[in-house]
């Protein structure tokens, strides 16, 4: 059984209607990152930050996994698959992927403002109750906040992602510009003899001298082509 690690970014969920944060029409064009994606922004205006992520959750609840998500999940039938995602949505899980490492947090969860990475304080939100309001408390008494890794915060699951790259047979990159670190640096931990495939409709610049097979297509069409290549 082959071990496959798949790194996914915003382009993975674009076909599901989830707005990307960068690029034309990206989320950061409408909301200054400093206001809604930093600890300082939350401290200055927690109501605005909570509203922003409540809106993102409403958007997510109206979305469905696309064919690309489903094809990634289908790989588990005959392979050992780990999905490492920069996305905070739950579309991989809803498509059937069972081993997903979320580098930047999970939109459908809340956590402590005092200790965001304390697993005892993490609360899963539901479709029936997806809103975090001012005054909602974590178990430690602090304001409940989105379980999101904001700019300036450590990426607690980076070590898990690096560990997943040991003894792999195939590494796949889908829908990411490879501009966001530390996630973009994962390619440096892929063993030299492991084939790397990159699926993205845009021209993604891969730093270094590594040989990468590029599929210039969106997530769903690109995954169909990948399956033909790797069997």
- CB under 8 Å to 205, separation ≥6 — which residues? 178
For residues 39 and 217, what is the distance between their CA atoms, to the nearest angstrom? Answer: 36
Catalytic residues: 104
Say how many C-beta atoms besides its own lie within 10 A of residue 211's C-beta: 8
CB-based contact 75:197 (threshold 8 Å): no
Q: Within 13 Å and on the Cβ side, how many CA atoms surround 200?
A: 21
φ/ψ of residue 186, rounded to 5: -60, -30
């Amino acid at each position: 059984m082959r071990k496959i690690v798949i790194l996914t970014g915003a382009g993975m969920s674009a076909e599901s209607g989830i707005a990307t944060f960068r690029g034309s029409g990206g989320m950061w064009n409408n909301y200054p990152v400093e206001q809604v994606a930093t600890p300082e922004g939350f401290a200055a205006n927690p109501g605005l930050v909570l509203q922003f992520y409540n809106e993102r959750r409403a958007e997510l609840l109206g979305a469905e996994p696309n064919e690309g998500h489903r094809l990634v999940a289908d790989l588990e039938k005959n392979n050992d698959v780990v999905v490492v995602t920069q996305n905070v949505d739950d579309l991989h899980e809803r498509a059937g992927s069972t081993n997903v490492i979320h580098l930047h947090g999970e939109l459908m969860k809340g956590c402590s403002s005092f200790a965001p990475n304390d697993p005892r304080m993490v609360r899963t939100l539901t479709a029936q109750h997806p809103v975090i309001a001012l005054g909602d408390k974590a178990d430690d008494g602090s304001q409940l906040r989105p379980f999101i890794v904001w700019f300036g915060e450590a990426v607690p699951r980076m070590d898990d992602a690096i560990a997943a790259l040991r003894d792999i047979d195939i590494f796949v990159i889908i829908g990411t510009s490879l501009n966001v670190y530390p996630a973009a640096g994962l390619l440096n931990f892929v063993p030299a003899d492991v084939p790397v495939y990159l699926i993205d409709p845009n021209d993604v610049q891969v730093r270094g001298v590594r040989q990468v097979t590029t599929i210039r297509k969106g997530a769903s069409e690109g995954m169909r082509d990948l399956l033909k290549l790797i069997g």
